[in-house]
Amino acid sequence: MPLLEQIRHNAHILIGDYQFADSVQKEVLSLFNKGVATIPKDKTNVKCKLHTGFVWEPDNIVFKNLRSYISQEIETFYAPGSRTDGTRNRLECVNFWGMAYAKGDYAQSHNHKPCAYSFAYFVKSKWYHPPLVFDDSGYKVRPKDGRFVAFPAYLIHHVPKNRFNEKRVTVSGNFIIKTELEGEINLT
């Protein structure tokens, strides 16, 4: 009978800062203040009071630019979709959502399969807010306004409970590798 063993493994994550962080923060906070449709806590691994839908503001130019920048960084760092003929399949951002973690809010351990890559972006946070924690390694990424973390979507991660009164505001997204042979994939 086969035996399933859990192992720790090495995986690379990409951490960077977005130069137009102020415009993203202004846009997210403005939309949150106007009010957005939210997902109930029992429908997601993220247990926070404000969690937008998974296809949030797809035509917003500020968010398009952020997704494009992170996609380019993933392309540069990981070179996903490289083919033997020298061409490359393209990345496509299929999900994008926002969250505001109030005091007591958290995210359960989860991954983003079947997507290829995921990212978290810190919109408004303090260095002492809960980090993004990768379960296998225990590696923690401390929040910083304008910082993004891109990683293979299979990595299990979580966010501990926010113990502070200030909200920890983030946006996240998922990328697939789009091949010429695939039709449209609905991951919402």
Number of domains comprising the chain: 1
Residue 6 lies in a domain: no
**What digits encode the pLDDT tens for the residues 69-128?**
999 999 999 887 777 777 778 899 999 999 999 999 999 999 999 999 999 999 999 999
Residue 174 lies in a domain: yes
The CATH number of whichever domain residue 145 belongs to comes to 2.60.120.620
Residue 101 lies in a domain: yes
**In the chain, % of residues over pLDDT 70:** 93
Residue 185 lies in a domain: no
Residue 4 lies in a domain: no
Residue 183 lies in a domain: no
Residue 5 lies in a domain: no
pLDDT of residue 149: 97
Count each helix (H run) and each strand (E run) in the chain, helices first: 2, 11
For the entire predicted model, the pTM comes to 0.89
Where residue 30 falls among pLDDT bands split at 50, 70, 90? very high
Tell me the backbone φ, ψ of residue 103, rounded to 5 degrees. Answer: -55, 130
pLDDT of residue 140: 96
3-state helix, strand, coil in the chain (%, to 5): 20, 30, 50
d(CA 94, CA 40): 21
Range of the domain at 26: 14-81+89-178
Q: What tokens does 52 get? A: 């937008």
d(CA 115, CA 38): 23
Residue 50 lies in a domain: yes
pLDDT of residue 95: 95
